[in-house]
Amino acid sequence: MTYSEPVGITAFGCGRDEAARFRELAPRFGVTPTITESAVSQETARLASGNRCISVGHKTRITPETLGALSRVGVSYISTRSVGYDHIDVESAGRFGISVGNVRYSPDSVADYTVMMLLMAVRHAKSTVRRADVHDYRLHDVRGRELRDLTVGVVGTGRIGTAVMERLRAFGCRILAYGNRVGESEESGKSGKSGKSGEFGESGEFRDSRESGEFGDCGGLGDEVPLDQLLRSSDVVTLHAPLNADTYHLLDRERIQRMKPGAFVVNTGRGALIDSTALVAALEDGRLGGVALDVVEGEEGVFYADRRNAPIDSKPLLRLQEMPNAFISPHTAYYTDRALSDTVENSITNCLEFESRNKRA
């Protein structure tokens, strides 16, 4: 898609790779980009002056105060370069007359990474690698398990959850799926904690790029079961749900206690899907066999930063990183060449489609 007149877009929070992709694609789409490494905030909103559309990353929380500052400089559309949008106060955006849209990108990046983490968890890879690093080459005290002998429960059967199930089928494991009950708010037009999506005020709206939300049916790739049955029956539970009011602490203390003793948890969705304090307790008392987490509750301000010489306030995160059966990575499952290209291109496309709709109106 190109636009008859140059369209200005301010792209906030761009790393070098994103900035390079914006500069590469802009001429093709007839876009004039203003690119900044700075995160969007009340102070940096002025960088969007003259541009109605902005593109933002998922690393920065966009508050009502920031939205107010953006509105005052004329911003009327925000495209987030992510599938998730829980970092944006969508309801407040609507009150300021700002529309919000997310993007789709290849689910393969996260699906591949999920299976890698799942395998690392059931084969106790963290302990093995740590010991090899100090030249301790003895066999692990606990033997690994083979996927064909396990039942894997997939929570969230949208594009990523479906891609994970497609991969798991090749390993011969039994697959249980839970997808279309707790997350109904996602498919029926609710934007997480922010309430109803669609029209907010006169022009604000939320446009979810997903065709069927993150909670769809499993397409015959697994046995669809209630969540309670999935938790009680699964040797591994992997989370691919959106974060909203229904799914916040989806795995809380009570649900973790219902899980199969010795089960593993994999989370490449959103950190707050799991109550971190309850998770740590279940690992400490041996209720769970291990976890592999690419996202952790309270990761904001820690992940994507060099914290080697700075204190980390999140006690659950620090405790998890100490544990030999807890593998942590810094929200990097999505980070591939293809996904980066998809997010930037689709964010530009979102802005152009907004301008086209606005021009027709």
- Catalytic residue set: 270, 299, 331
Length reported for the chain: 361
Query: CA-CA distances (angstroms) from residue 279 to 237, 337, 357?
Result: 13, 33, 46
Report the chain's C-alpha Rg in angstroms. 21
Three-state SS for 298?
coil
Determine the Cα angle at 203 with ends 32 and 180, to 5°. 100
Are 210 and 158 a contacting pair, CB within 8 Å? yes
Taking the CA atoms of 331, 336, 342 and 343 in sequence, report the sign of the dihedral they define: positive
DSSP state at residue 319: H
Query: CA-CA distances (angstroms) from residue 282 to 2, 136, 172, 229, 258?
Result: 53, 28, 28, 19, 11
Segment 181-185 long-range contacts (CB within 8 Å, at least 24 positions apart) = 181/215, 181/226, 181/227, 182/215, 182/227, 182/241, 182/246, 182/247, 182/250, 183/156, 183/213, 183/214, 183/215, 183/241, 183/242, 183/244, 183/246, 183/247, 184/215, 184/246, 185/244, 185/245, 185/246
Are 290 and 121 a contacting pair, CB within 8 Å? yes
Q: How many angstroms separate the CA atoms of 160 and 318, rounded?
A: 28
Q: How many angstroms separate the CA atoms of 74 and 264, rounded?
A: 48
Three-state SS for 230?
helix
Q: Which amino acid is at 47?
A: L
